[in-house]
Copies of this chain bind each other. A is one copy, B any other.
Amino acid sequence: MNIGPYEFSEFKELAVKFHGYAAPGLLIGGYMTTAAMAALPAGVLFEALVETYNCLPDAVQLLTPCSTGNKRLHVAPYGKTALSLFDKYTGRGIRARVDPGLLGPWPEIRAWIMKEKSKEEQDEALLERQIAEAGTTIIALQPVSVDLSRLNRKSDGPLAVCPRCGESFPTAHGSLCRACTEGAPYSAAS
Contacts and interface: CB of A to CB of B under 8 A. Distances in A.
A95 interface: yes
Nearest to A170: B79
A137 interface: no
Chain copies in complex? 2
A55 to B, nearest CB: 5
B144 A188 contact: yes
Give the interface residue-count category, chain A. 35 or more
A148 to B, nearest CB: 8
Interface of A: 18-20, 23, 26, 29, 49, 51-59, 61, 65, 67-71, 73, 75-82, 84, 86, 92, 95, 97, 100, 113-115, 142-147, 150-152, 156, 158-159, 167-170, 173, 177-179, 184-190
Given A53-B71, A78-B169, A113-B168, 6 more contacts: A18-B67, A26-B69, A56-B69, A78-B173, A79-B170, A115-B159
Give the 5 A-B CB pairs with smallest separation, nearest first.
A58-B69, A57-B69, A79-B170, A150-B185, A145-B189
